[in-house]
Amino acid sequence: MKKFVLVPDSFKGTMTSAQVCASMEAGIRRVLPQAQVVSLPVADGGEGSAEAFLTALGGQRVVRTVTGPEGRPLESFYALLPDGTAVIEMAAAAGLPQVTGEKNPETTTTYGVGELLVHAAHHGARRAVMCLGGSATNDGGCGAASACGVRFVNGAGESFVPVGGTLGEIASVDVTGLDPAVAALEIVTMCDIDNPLCGPTGAAAVFGPQKGADAAQIQRLDAGLAHLARILERDLGMSTQDLPGAGAAGGMGAGMAAFFGSRLQPGIETVLDTVRFEEVIRDADWIFTGEGRLDGQSLRGKVVSGVARRAGGVPVAAIVGDVGDGASAVYDRGVSAVFSINRVAVPYLEARPRARRDLEDTVADVVRVMKISWSAGKED
């Protein structure tokens, strides 16, 4: 019996990674009905990441009422995997979809994210994966840290919970009250961007506009994050100003590193570590991966190159939407073959509705060729 491991990214705007897995499996079973197929849909850190982990590994969806980004009660959730890993999405507790009024990153908070982390730490979690995509906030993770027991003090000596617009009021930070259960967690933060905390490519300048910030607010938010960086370095000995990924999710990357000792790493690396990828592929015949477009940018921390890098000699087929300039470079990174699902030359809007069927058909054709080779005893 042949074994296939499916580890695709989503095809942005067309199929989720779980849908890609389903179409790939259907194509395989059309040719090899008895094949062993292991699906590992890739989470990208945004909305749906927790569900992707649950699909791949099982576990439970833990529903909690927390503080939403606007300070009102919000029904949220996290995933608790069988091995005791809690997967927490910022998008589920501090995401843009939860903002019901006018978007304003000067007033939104990550407090609810911290509440999820505390609950997980006290209810069976031994490890946590923090997914940073889709946030509505710019508070540098101070809200989440406050929920976990970190104390922020202003110039008058008063404790307060900073938001994006009040970061400049922080006079000192005290982490001695951090919840011991949270402190005991190993926390990994999924971070697929390398933006610094502040400056022209920082959190406020790059991501502020999509959260509702105008030019004046962006300047204030950036100044607040710069102030936070100085306080963190002085009080905690942690330099976050130029830390790659510190600017993710309104500075949450910096907050996760400084307050929780979390390491920031690419999403694909987090997924592969969590699913124990090397164990899963040990007896695999082929790995199928893919993404919506494969080009030279796919070498920078993307799913296809990340999977190939850790394939350990198992052949890797990249089944993708478009194949762009520079795609051939993936062959030097361990990819064995690249296939496009675009079977008919039509514009994107016409190709999109047929993408799932085209993906299934393409995978079936690929497996037919493999089957011929195997039948002829020419697997090499």
Token readout for 288 is 């199928």
Centre a 10 Å sphere on the Cβ of residue 213 and count the other Cβ atoms it contains. Answer: 24
Angle at 197 between CA 191 and CA 101, to 5 degrees: 80
pLDDT for res 21: 94
What does the alpha-carbon distance between residue 115 and residue 109 come to, in Å, rounded to a whole number? 12
Q: Rounded to whole angstroms, what are the CA distances from 243 to 57, 198, 226?
A: 32, 10, 13
Long-range pairs, 214-220, Cβ under 8 A, ≥24: 217/104, 217/105, 217/106, 220/106, 220/165, 220/168
Would you say 252 and 167 are in contact if contact means Cβ atoms under 8 Å apart? no
Predicted pLDDT at 380: 44
Which of 18-22, 162-166, 206-210, 295-299 has the lowest average pLDDT? 295-299
Query: Can you tell me the mean pLDDT for 373-377?
Result: 82
Of 39, 58, 54, nearest to 88 (Cα)?
54
Task: Retrieve residue 285's tokens.
Answer: 């015949």
Q: What percent of the chain has pLDDT over 70?
A: 98
> At 296, is the pLDDT very low, low, confident or very high (cuts 50, 70, 90)?
confident
- Mean pLDDT of the residues in the chain: 92
CB 221 within 8 A of CB 105: yes
pLDDT score, position 44? 67
Lowest mean pLDDT among 63-67, 343-347, 351-355: 343-347
For the chain, domains (ranges, CATH) are: 3-40+281-375 (3.40.50.10350), 49-267 (3.90.1510.10)
The pLDDT value recorded for residue 348 is: 74
Strand segments (E) across 235-342: 263-265, 286-290, 293-294, 316-320, 322-323, 337-340
The predicted model gives 262-285 an average pLDDT of: 90
Determine which helix (DSSP H) or strand (DSSP E) holds 309, and give its type and residue range: helix 303-309
Give 39's pLDDT tier (boundaries 50, 70, 90): very high
pLDDT above 90 as % of the chain: 74
Using CA atoms, how far apart are residues 196 and 265, in angstroms rounded to an integer?
14
User: Bigger pLDDT: 373 or 25?
Assistant: 25
- The residue among 354 and 145 whose pLDDT is bigger is 145
Radius of gyration of the chain (CA): 22
Average confidence (pLDDT) over 55-76: 95
pLDDT digits (tens, 9 = 90+) for 73-110: 999 999 999 999 999 999 899 999 899 889 999 999 99
Q: What is the pLDDT of residue 121?
A: 98
Split at pLDDT 50, 70, 90, the class of 169 is: very high
**Does the structure show a pLDDT above 80 at 299?**
no
Mean pLDDT over 131-135 rounds to 89
Q: Predicted confidence band at 301 (pLDDT cuts at 50, 70, 90)?
A: low
Instruction: Decide: helix, strand or coil at residue 207.
Output: helix
Distance CA 107, CA 250 (A): 12
- The whole-model pTM stands at 0.83
Task: Label the pairing between strands 151-153 and 172-174.
Answer: antiparallel
Of the pLDDT bands very low, low, confident and very high (cuts 50, 70, 90), residue 201 is: very high
Question: What's the confidence (pLDDT) of residue 168?
Answer: 97
Question: In this predicted structure, what is the pLDDT of residue 369?
Answer: 95
Question: pLDDT: is 183 or 304 the higher one?
Answer: 183
pLDDT reported for residue 90: 93
Average pLDDT over residues 114-129: 97
pLDDT band at 326 (very low <50, low <70, confident <90, very high): confident
Q: Is 62 helix (H, G, I), strand (E, B) or coil?
A: strand
